[in-house]
Chains A and B, each alone.
Chain A
C-alpha cells in the first residue's frame, strides 16, 4: 500500500469480472448459451445422422463407455430419452435417483458425483431441483456434465429439441425470409402429426446449418408459468440467437415484467390472443405446482385467460405449431383436443429428444468430433 495515499478514501475498484470459467469440460452442456451457432449446427447435424444410422453400427460409437444419470427430480421424457440415447450409442448407463440411493441418507451432490466418477462414469447427466447444480457438479468432478434441468434455471437439451422440432416445420424456401413479409414457414403440409415419420431421411425440409438469420421473421410464443420454467429460460436464450422473436405470455404472478430483460429478442405480451396472432409456434407450459412456493393462483381465471383451446387456436393461429415440453395437464394449460389435434407436435418433440440427446451424449464423450466451439 502506498503510505502517502489515504486508504480510507481510496476508491474501491472491483476487479474486472473474469470470463466465465464454465464449462470446465468442453463436452459439458450446462446452458443453452454455452453453444455457438456452429456448435448448434453440429448437434443438429449429428442428431439427424445418428437417428438415421443403422442401430447395429450406431451402438459401436460409445461401446461400453459409462454414462451416469443422476436424477434428483422425477422425470419421464428426459430420463428415458437420455437413457435410450446413451444406450443407442452403445454406452452402459446407470441411474441414480434421489429416492433409493444414498442421497436419501444425506450424501451431498459433490460426494455423489465423485462416487460416480470413481465408479467409472465418464459423463454425468444431471437433473436437480436447485438452480446451478450442474455447474457445481462439473466444477467438482470436471467430468462432462449434461444439464437435464436445474431448478428453475435451464434445460438446454429441451431447447435444442424444441429448435429441431421448429426447424422441421420451417419452410425451406422462405427460410431466408424477408422480415417484413409474413413468413409462410409452417405449412400444414409439413405437419408430420402424431403417427407421422420423424423425417427419417433427414430430408430436404430439415435445416442443419443454422445462422443468426435462420429464424428471422419467426415468432415463438412461450405461454404460462414462465417464472418457474427452465424450459422457457433455455428457449428464450437459444431461439433469439437464430433470429427468432420470443413472446412471453402469462399473468404477472407467473411472468414478472423484468423477464423481458433476460436477453435480446424477448418481449412480453400479456394478451394471449394477441400473442397467438403473431406466432408461428406456440409453446405451452405447465403450471409448476411444486414450485409455486405458497403462491395462490385462481386456476379458473388462468384457464379463462391462458388455456389454449381449439377455438383460440383456430381463430388466432390456425397455421401455428403447438409445442409442450410435458408433462401436459390436460384441461388446464391445453385442452385435450388441442393436445391431440393436428397442430400439436408434442410427441414429435419427444421423438426429437432422443436424437438430440444422442448427439449431445456423443459430443460429451467424443469431444474431438468436430463439435464446433462454444460461446
Chain B
C-alpha cells in the first residue's frame, strides 16, 4: 500500500462543495481521507507533498480543445496538447473535430485515442456532426459513439441549415450524444475579427453583430423545444453575447437540456 499526503493546500472540489484549507490522504491513488489542516493521522512511511500556497483540486476537464491531429501536427499534436493540459491540471480533454481530414469517421476517432499518439491525459474525441463538417449530410452517430466519440459538432463552423440542425439534434439524442453548436451565423460575420461596436469602427475592423450568435442560439433552442420529448442535449460553445446567455438561461428555466461554455478572453477582454 502506498500512501501520499498533500498538506497545506487550498482544496477546491465544487462537486463536493469544498472550498477551504484542507489536507488530503491518498491510498493507492485514491482519496482516503480529507481533514482540516494538521488534523490528518497517517503512518510514518507516507510520502508528504507540501502544497502550501497552492490550490488542490480534482483533475480539471476541458471540454473544448483543439489538438490539431490528424493533419496539422505543425500547429499542435495530441502529445503536445495533452502535455500542456497536464501541466495546467487538466486530466481530461475533449478534442474538436476540425482536423485534416475532419474527424467524421470511427477510424479517425479511434486513431486519436490510440496509445501511439502519446497522450498525457485522457482524450475524448468529439466527432463531426456532418460529413466533412460541411453542414450538409449527417454522420453515423451510432458508429462514432461506439468508436469513442462523446459528442458531435461542426466546431469551427456552424450548422447553419434548420433542417440539418434538427436532424442532427434528433439523431444525436437517439444514441445519447450531445450536440455542440459553434453559434455564429457566418452570413453576418464575413471578414469580421471582433465584436461590432464603436471600437471596431474606430479600428477599421469588420465587427460581428451580437445577433450573429444569439440568433443562432435562439433558433437552436426552438429546435430543441420542438424535439422536447427526444431528450436532446444542446451545448453552446464559446458563448460571447449577453443575448445568447439569456436565451440559454431561459431554456434551462423551462426545463430544456441546454448548456453553454465561456472562454476567458470573452469575459476579460472588453472595449
- A interface residues (Cβ-Cβ under 8 A, vs B): 1, 3-4, 6-9, 12, 14, 131-132, 150-154, 227, 230, 233, 256, 258-259, 261-263, 293-294
> CB distance B190 to A294 under 8 Å?
yes
Of all chain A residues, the one with the shortest Cβ separation from B206 is A293
How distant is B14 from chain A, measured CB to nearest CB, in Å?
Answer: 8
The 10 A-B pairs at the shortest CB distance, nearest first, are namely: A153-B204, A152-B204, A131-B204, A261-B198, A3-B10, A258-B198, A262-B202, A151-B204, A131-B205, A293-B190
Q: How far is the CA of A233 from the CA of B200 in the complex (A)?
A: 12
Is B268 part of the binding interface, using a Cβ–Cβ cutoff of 8 Å? yes
Of all chain A residues, the one with the shortest Cβ separation from B267 is A12
Is B42 part of the binding interface, using a Cβ–Cβ cutoff of 8 Å? no
Q: How far is the CA of A120 from the CA of B167 in the complex (A)?
A: 61
Q: Which residues of A contact B14 (CB under 8 A)?
A: 8
Of all chain A residues, the one with the shortest Cβ separation from B264 is A12
Q: How many A-B residue pairs have CB under 8 A?
A: 58
Q: Classify the secondary structure of A's interface with B.
A: loop
Is B191 part of the binding interface, using a Cβ–Cβ cutoff of 8 Å? yes
> CB distance A4 to B21 under 8 Å?
yes
Of all chain B residues, the one with the shortest Cβ separation from A131 is B204
> CB distance A6 to B19 under 8 Å?
yes
Is B197 part of the binding interface, using a Cβ–Cβ cutoff of 8 Å? yes
Interface string of B14-34 (1 = CB under 8 A from A): 100001110000000000000
Is B250 part of the binding interface, using a Cβ–Cβ cutoff of 8 Å? no
Q: How far is the CA of A151 from the CA of B202 in the complex (A)?
A: 12
Q: Which residues of A contact B79 (CB under 8 A)?
A: none
Q: How far is the CA of A263 from the CA of B53 in the complex (A)?
A: 46
8 Å CB interface, B196-224 against A: 197-198, 201-206
> CB distance A132 to B203 under 8 Å?
yes
Q: How far is the CA of A131 from the CA of B200 in the complex (A)?
A: 10
> CB distance B10 to A14 under 8 Å?
no
How distant is B209 from chain A, measured CB to nearest CB, in Å?
Answer: 10
- Chain B interface size, under 10 / 10 to 19 / 20 to 34 / 35 or more: 20 to 34
How distant is B239 from chain A, measured CB to nearest CB, in Å?
Answer: 18
> CB distance B201 to A259 under 8 Å?
yes
> CB distance B203 to A1 under 8 Å?
no
Of all chain B residues, the one with the shortest Cβ separation from A258 is B198
Of all chain A residues, the one with the shortest Cβ separation from B8 is A3
> CB distance B10 to A1 under 8 Å?
yes
Q: Which residues of A contact B55 (CB under 8 A)?
A: 1, 7
Q: Which residues of A contact B52 (CB under 8 A)?
A: 3
Among candidates B8, B12, B54, residue contacting A8 with C-beta atoms closer than 8 Å: B12
Among candidates A6, A8, A12, A153, residue contacting B203 with C-beta atoms closer than 8 Å: A153
> CB distance B268 to A12 under 8 Å?
yes
How distant is A261 from chain B, measured CB to nearest CB, in Å?
Answer: 4
Is B135 part of the binding interface, using a Cβ–Cβ cutoff of 8 Å? no
> CB distance A3 to B203 under 8 Å?
no
Is B106 part of the binding interface, using a Cβ–Cβ cutoff of 8 Å? no
Among candidates B12, B197, B201, B202, residue contacting A7 with C-beta atoms closer than 8 Å: B12
Instruction: Give 20 A-B pairs besides A261-B198, A293-B191 with Cβ atoms closer than 8 angstroms.
Output: A1-B53, A3-B52, A3-B53, A4-B21, A6-B19, A6-B20, A7-B10, A8-B12, A9-B19, A12-B268, A14-B270, A132-B203, A132-B204, A150-B204, A152-B204, A152-B205, A153-B203, A154-B204, A230-B204, A294-B190
Of all chain B residues, the one with the shortest Cβ separation from A229 is B204
How distant is A10 from chain B, measured CB to nearest CB, in Å?
Answer: 11
Q: How far is the CA of A14 from the CA of B204 in the complex (A)?
A: 25
Is B132 part of the binding interface, using a Cβ–Cβ cutoff of 8 Å? no
Q: Which residues of A contact B190 (CB under 8 A)?
A: 293-294
11 A-B pairs (CB sep. < 8 Å) = A1-B10, A1-B53, A3-B8, A9-B19, A151-B205, A154-B204, A256-B201, A262-B201, A263-B202, A293-B206, A294-B190
How distant is A128 from chain B, measured CB to nearest CB, in Å?
Answer: 11
Q: How far is the CA of A293 from the CA of B191 in the complex (A)?
A: 8
> CB distance A258 to B201 under 8 Å?
yes
Question: Given known contacts A258-B197, A261-B198, is B12 in contact with A233 (CB within 8 Å)?
Answer: no
Q: Which residues of B contact A259 (CB under 8 A)?
A: 201
Interface string of B44-55 (1 = CB under 8 A from A): 000000001111
Among candidates A12, A233, A293, residue contacting B204 with C-beta atoms closer than 8 Å: A233
Of all chain A residues, the one with the shortest Cβ separation from B37 is A3
Q: Which residues of B contact A1 (CB under 8 A)?
A: 10, 53-55
Q: Which residues of B contact A8 (CB under 8 A)?
A: 12, 14, 19
Q: How far is the CA of A153 from the CA of B202 in the complex (A)?
A: 7
Among candidates A14, A132, A233, A262, residue contacting B198 with C-beta atoms closer than 8 Å: A262
Q: Which residues of B contact A258 (CB under 8 A)?
A: 197-198, 201
Is B9 part of the binding interface, using a Cβ–Cβ cutoff of 8 Å? yes
Q: Which residues of B contact A294 (CB under 8 A)?
A: 190
> CB distance B204 to A3 under 8 Å?
no
Q: Which residues of B contact A152 (CB under 8 A)?
A: 204-206
How distant is A362 from chain B, measured CB to nearest CB, in Å?
Answer: 27
